[in-house]
């Protein structure tokens, strides 16, 4: 699959102990070679990280942790075979696969990791992930050539080097761009800029879609094939830091497994449709989360062992040495979220109150989403409303009729400021004359569940679809250990109501509080899922309302005048919002870009509420059940396992999960050379297609 280096360092250490003779080959510590370098070749990084051997005890322990934590993931049995329309997309028996991996031998710990990592990816569920920060994204591996999929004026589609590629690369990579300038062959040498906007005819000698589709098999995170294809390409999103750019899986990878790409391209603006073929090397850059090292030993000691964030802890223990004095469950959630979304989010998620106060539904990925800045000339030049806050930016389009909410996440530094700003910003747009609203949720991986409910409620107004429940009813998996935790909690194991399994914060199917002390998993719903007997809690209602801010009774916009726009990569709380807006209110959904003959879903990875191993471990330890036979052992490695804790029920079929129900976009808007990665141009195109003057308001047929 990929070249592995002989783990010389270990035999070298052994031979030194044995007093090796001077004729013994000088051992190479491959990590020492890259120890002090910001940039290295992927082969050099791979030589270092593939030199760690499999430790059978650690391997067995990690597999046991993963396996036992899967009992808390709502979807384990569903994912063995998803129903249509995802029958070809989701069919992995994770428990069975773990047994396979346990039985197989791997040549290195990296090979073991890749098998585990990609096996979880095959669930195509952004909540169900396995990440090991000994490997994932400690180095990010880049090409300065982000790609985009464009539709040309004659309607044909092609893969292109992004027109902004050189601008992005020079801003992001600085002087290292000269490495690639020098690496380009022949007359392309030093002319990286000339490749921007080129049409890509072949990648590694084959049609570009061979590479796009191969990537869609391993990129995970979204059920829909179209959304996974789109991961290959560059796109934008709003982060807490501003307008950001993600290079896409072709130009940015979480593991250093590929050394070079060979592209055949037709240069942009060339006089004679000049076609050139060239090979360009990938380059790996050390990430800010990697702790400095000088050799294999220090690499592993500092990066590969469990940290204070890896495992849970007893919330009522006074032993701060075991837990880290300042640690809170929210920090754990924030920590994994920050890994997924960029380090700045750690600080703000950690600064809030306990996790239970604002439950999260958030996708988790090995790749940080924020990898670069959207070039200034592509950022919206329209004035932003002064109510804009963090990931929520409000703009009026030049038509003075369309307001835009660019919403990059459902999480922001302050829950309450965020909630207020969404109301103030929409009210401000209306004051400025907005009759219609575009909500751009491109690359929005979710966040606070109650912010999703809130946004639905304030846009639509008080209706039976928004009050009291503006989201989805849900159910938690009732595995024997989950039931034991609930039982312990009902007996007083959690007096301060800090645990997820504490009934105090949840409501029943008619939205009445379950009540302090209820053993709410005493009775469970037993169902058969893909031939396996499974058990779930009673149906849970909403816990968001009444909101802490009072919403206006009337909706702010008519549903017919609202469009939700994205690249199909809207997950988790973003799905809760989009699905309720689309299926209950009839709001139009638009996916921008994607292959024309592939159905585009407007969202994916619905979940209901997501969490991770560390949080579950805290539940187990706090309720005194760590020595239960079904309790997962602590991770020995620097790992994170994400799971879905509550799964939302469907709207079309309310007896089945929403997760694998259809979410077809109403409109698939082509990306062109004119609007690609240009948010304002995209919003204006959406307005033209949905609400052009020729088509009066309210009368659009799609
Ligand atoms: C790392 O590089 C710096 C200069 O960039 C140098 O001063 C230092 O000695 C190097 N350290 C090691 C361990 O090579
Ligand atoms: C995983 O757990 C199941 C029980 O849920 C058990 O049957 C199986 O043997 C375990 N697999 C491994 C690899 O430990
Ligand atoms: C091609 O021409 C367009 C329009 O003049 C220009 O914006 C773009 O930078 C050119 N591309 C290259 C690679 O020279
Ligand atoms: C590895 O590096 C650490 C410091 O980073 C040093 O203390 C240790 O002696 C080194 N080990 C070997 C085997 O060189
Ligand atoms: C922890 O400390 C608090 C107050 O400092 C005390 O009331 C409690 O009993 C202690 N808990 C344990 C388990 O020692
Ligand atoms: C995100 O974009 C802002 C400007 O819009 C920039 O300052 C910031 O550095 C970018 N983040 C990353 C990770 O590149
Ligand atoms: C925002 O602008 C409006 C006028 O459009 C003004 O009334 C309001 O005080 C401003 N808010 C802030 C927080 O500056
Ligand atoms: C929108 O409003 C601005 C400022 O009031 C005005 O200058 C502009 O002409 C208006 N545009 C349209 C299309 O009406
Ligand atoms: C919930 O019950 C526990 C005992 O089971 C008690 O300590 C706690 O004060 C109660 N909380 C509320 C809000 O009634
Ligand atoms: C929810 O709880 C309320 C109050 O205890 C009860 O009246 C109602 O029947 C319950 N709803 C369901 C669906 O069990
Ligand atoms: C589990 O641990 C508790 C103390 O936390 C102890 O009382 C109990 O005997 C243990 N059970 C088993 C099966 O080891």
Q: Encode 26-52 in three state secondary structure.
A: CCCCHHHHHCCCCEECHHHHHHHHCCC
According to DSSP, the β-strands at 129-132 and 199-203 are unpaired
What is the mean predicted confidence (pLDDT) over 27-39?
A: 92
> 646 C-alpha vs ligand 3 centroid, how far in Å?
50
How much is the pLDDT for 19?
Answer: 42
DSSP lists the bridge partners of residue 245 as: 236, 372
Which atom of ligand 4 is the closest one to the Cα of 293? 5
- Place 431 in a pLDDT band, splitting at 50, 70 and 90: very high
Q: Percent of the chain at pLDDT above 70? A: 89
What is the mean predicted confidence (pLDDT) over 270-280?
A: 90
Residue 239: DSSP 8-state:
E
Q: Please give the full DSSP string across 203-229, using - where no structure is assigned.
A: ETTB-HHHHHHHHHHH--S-SSHHHHH
What is the mean predicted confidence (pLDDT) over 470-499?
A: 97
Contact 509 CB / ligand 10 (< 6 Å): yes
> 372 C-alpha vs ligand 6 centroid, how far in Å?
6
594 contacts 475 by C-beta, under 8 angstroms: no
What would the pLDDT profile of 617-639 be if each residue is shown by its tens digit?
999 999 999 999 999 999 999 99
Pocket of ligand 4 (CB under 6 A): 294-295, 297-298
Contact 271 CB / ligand 3 (< 6 Å): no
> 402 C-alpha vs ligand 7 centroid, how far in Å?
20
* All residues at 6 or more sequence positions from 282 whose CB lies less than 8 Å from its CB, including other chains: 41, 42, 141, 142, 143, 253, 256, 258, 259, 260, 261
What is the mean predicted confidence (pLDDT) over 90-115?
A: 98
How much is the pLDDT for 25?
Answer: 64
How much is the pLDDT for 238?
Answer: 96
How much is the pLDDT for 272?
Answer: 79
- Place 693 in a pLDDT band, splitting at 50, 70 and 90: low
How much is the pLDDT for 356?
Answer: 56
If one residue of 382, 400, 693 were mutated to test the ligand 8 pocket, choosing by the most ligand atoms within 8 A of its CB, it would be: 400
90 contacts 123 by C-beta, under 8 angstroms: yes
Which atom of ligand 10 is the closest one to the Cα of 515? 5
Select the more confidently predicted residue: 196 or 697: 196
| Nearest alpha carbon, ligand 10 atom 7 | 512
Portions of the chain given CATH number 3.90.226.10: 384-470+547-607+652-701
Structure tokens at 326: 């300042």
Nearest to 642 by CA among 219, 129, 194: 129
How much is the pLDDT for 366?
Answer: 81
User: Does position 21 have pLDDT exceeding 70, yes or no?
Assistant: no
Which atom of ligand 2 is the closest one to the Cα of 95? 1
How much is the pLDDT for 359?
Answer: 87
- Average pLDDT of the chain? 90
What is the mean predicted confidence (pLDDT) over 417-437?
A: 97
Nearest to 309 by CA among 320, 299, 323, 325: 323
Contact 629 CB / ligand 11 (< 6 Å): no
Chain position carrying tokens 């993931």: 73
- Place 24 in a pLDDT band, splitting at 50, 70 and 90: low
> 631 C-alpha vs ligand 5 centroid, how far in Å?
25
Q: Which of these ranges, 10-24, 122-136, 466-480, 496-510, has the smallest mean pLDDT?
A: 10-24
| Nearest alpha carbon, ligand 1 atom 5 | 36
Pocket of ligand 5 (CB under 6 A): 316, 318
What is the mean predicted confidence (pLDDT) over 423-440?
A: 98
What is the mean predicted confidence (pLDDT) over 368-395?
A: 93
How much is the pLDDT for 358?
Answer: 85
| Nearest alpha carbon, ligand 3 atom 5 | 269
How much is the pLDDT for 322?
Answer: 53
In the chain, the N- to C-terminal Cα span, in Å, equals 45
What is the mean predicted confidence (pLDDT) over 293-317?
A: 95
Contact 60 CB / ligand 2 (< 6 Å): no
> 99 C-alpha vs ligand 2 centroid, how far in Å?
7
Structure tokens at 397: 């389009």
Q: Please give the full DSSP string across 570-625, using - where no structure is assigned.
A: -BTHHHHHHHIIIIIH--EEEEESS-TTS--BS-B---EEEEEHHHHHHHHHHTT-
How much is the pLDDT for 26?
Answer: 64
Exposed / middle / buried, residue 358 (Cβ in 10 Å: 0-12, 13-18, 19+): buried
> 546 C-alpha vs ligand 10 centroid, how far in Å?
18
How much is the pLDDT for 696?
Answer: 45
Which atom of ligand 10 is the closest one to the Cα of 509? 13
Residue 489: DSSP 8-state:
I
Phi, psi for 362 (deg, rounded to 5): -145, 130
How much is the pLDDT for 10?
Answer: 29
Contact 664 CB / ligand 11 (< 6 Å): no
Which atom of ligand 2 is the closest one to the Cα of 71? 5
If one residue of 383, 398, 429 were mutated to test the ligand 8 pocket, choosing by the most ligand atoms within 8 A of its CB, it would be: 398
How much is the pLDDT for 655?
Answer: 96
User: Does position 302 have pLDDT exceeding 60, yes or no?
Assistant: yes
How much is the pLDDT for 123?
Answer: 98
Select the more confidently predicted residue: 701 or 506: 506
Q: Is it true that domain 384-470+547-607+652-701 has CATH number 3.90.226.10?
A: yes
Query: Which ligand lies nearest the alpha carbon of 38?
Result: 1
Q: Percent of the chain at pLDDT above 90? A: 85
User: Does position 346 have pLDDT exceeding 50, yes or no?
Assistant: no
If one residue of 30, 295, 300, 302 were mutated to test the ligand 4 pocket, choosing by the most ligand atoms within 8 A of its CB, it would be: 295
Residue 92: DSSP 8-state:
-
Contact 624 CB / ligand 11 (< 6 Å): yes
What is the mean predicted confidence (pLDDT) over 346-359?
A: 48
How much is the pLDDT for 548?
Answer: 95
| Nearest alpha carbon, ligand 8 atom 10 | 400
How much is the pLDDT for 337?
Answer: 43
Phi, psi for 559 (deg, rounded to 5): -50, -35
How much is the pLDDT for 321?
Answer: 56
Query: Which ligand lies nearest the alpha carbon of 512?
Result: 10
CA 549 to CA 325: how far, in whole Å?
33
How much is the pLDDT for 273?
Answer: 81
If one residue of 28, 298, 299, 303 were mutated to test the ligand 4 pocket, choosing by the most ligand atoms within 8 A of its CB, it would be: 298
What is the mean predicted confidence (pLDDT) over 416-420?
A: 97
């Amino acid at each position: 699959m990929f070249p592995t280096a002989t783990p010389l360092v270990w035999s070298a250490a052994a031979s030194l102990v044995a007093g090796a003779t001077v004729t013994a080959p000088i051992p190479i510590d491959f990590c020492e070679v890259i120890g002090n370098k910001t940039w290295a070749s992927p082969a050099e990084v791979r030589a270092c990280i593939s030199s760690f051997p499999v430790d059978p005890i650690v391997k067995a322990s990690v597999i046991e942790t993963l396996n036992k934590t899967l009992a808390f993931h709502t979807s384990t049995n569903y994912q063995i075979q998803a129903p249509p329309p995802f029958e070809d997309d989701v069919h992995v028996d994770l428990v069975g696969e773990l047994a396979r991996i346990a039985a197989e031998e791997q040549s290195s710990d990296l090979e073991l990791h890749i098998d585990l990592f990609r096996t979880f990816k095959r669930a195509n569920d952004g909540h169900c992930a396995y990440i090991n920060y000994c490997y994932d994204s400690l180095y990010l591996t880049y090409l300065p050539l982000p790609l985009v999929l464009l539709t040309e004026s004659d309607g044909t589609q092609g893969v292109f080097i992004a027109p902004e590629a050189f601008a992005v690369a020079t801003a992001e990579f600085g002087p290292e761009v000269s490495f690639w300038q020098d690496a380009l062959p022949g007359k392309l040498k030093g002319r990286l800029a000339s490749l921007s906007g080129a049409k890509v005819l072949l990648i590694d000698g084959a049609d570009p879609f061979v590479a796009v589709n191969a990537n869609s098999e391993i990129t995970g995170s979204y059920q829909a094939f179209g959304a996974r294809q789109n991961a290959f390409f560059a796109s934008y999103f709003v982060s807490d830091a501003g307008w950001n750019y993600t290079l896409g899986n072709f130009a940015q990878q979480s593991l250093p497994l590929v050394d070079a790409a060979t592209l055949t391209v037709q240069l942009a603006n060339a006089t004679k449709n000049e076609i050139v073929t060239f090979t360009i090397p990938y380059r790996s850059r050390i990430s800010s989360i990697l702790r400095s090292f000088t050799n294999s030993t220090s690499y592993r000691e500092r990066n590969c062992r469990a940290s204070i964030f890896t495992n849970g802890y007893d919330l009522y223990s006074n032993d701060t040495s075991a837990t880290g004095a300042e640690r809170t469950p929210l920090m754990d959630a924030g920590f994994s979220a920050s890994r997924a979304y960029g380090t700045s989010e750690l600080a703000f998620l950690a600064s809030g109150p306990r996790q239970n106060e604002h439950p999260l539904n958030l996708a988790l990925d090995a790749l940080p989403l924020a990898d670069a800045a959207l070039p200034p000339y592509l950022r919206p030049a329209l004035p932003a409303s002064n109510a804009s806050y963090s990931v929520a930016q409000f703009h009026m389009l030049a038509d003075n009729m369309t307001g835009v909410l660019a919403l990059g996440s459902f999480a922001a530094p302050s829950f309450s400021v965020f909630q207020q700003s969404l109301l103030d910003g929409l009210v401000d747009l209306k004051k400025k004359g907005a009759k219609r609203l575009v909500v751009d949720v491109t690359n929005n991986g979710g966040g606070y569940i109650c912010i999703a409910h809130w946004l639905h409620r304030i846009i639509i107004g008080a209706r039976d679809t928004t009050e009291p429940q503006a989201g989805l009813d849900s159910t938690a998996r009732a595995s024997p250990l989950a039931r034991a935790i609930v039982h312990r909690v009902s007996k007083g194991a959690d007096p301060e109501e800090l645990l997820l399994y504490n009934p105090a914060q949840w409501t029943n199917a008619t939205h009445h509080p379950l009540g302090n002390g209820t053993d709410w998993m005493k009775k469970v719903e037993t169902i058969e899922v893909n031939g396996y007997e499974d058990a779930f809690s009673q149906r849970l209602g909403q816990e968001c309302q009444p909101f802490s801010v009072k919403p206006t009774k009337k909706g702010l916009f008519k549903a017919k005048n609202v469009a939700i726009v994205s690249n199909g990569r809207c997950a988790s709380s973003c799905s809760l919002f989009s699905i309720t807006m689309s299926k209950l209110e009839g709001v139009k959904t638009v996916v921008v870009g994607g292959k024309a003959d592939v159905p585009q879903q407007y969202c994916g990875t619905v979940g209901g509420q997501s969490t991770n191993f560390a949080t579950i471990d805290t539940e187990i330890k706090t309720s005194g059940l760590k020595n239960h036979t079904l309790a997962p052992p602590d991770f020995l490695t620097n790992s994170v396992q994400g799971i879905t804790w509550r799964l939302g029920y469907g709207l079309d079929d309310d007896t089945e999960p929403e997760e694998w129900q259809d979410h077809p976009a109403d409109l698939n808007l082509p990306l062109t050379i004119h609007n690609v990665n240009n948010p304002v141009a995209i919003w204006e195109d959406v307005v033209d297609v949905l609400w052009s003057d020729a088509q009066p308001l309210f009368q659009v047929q799609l």
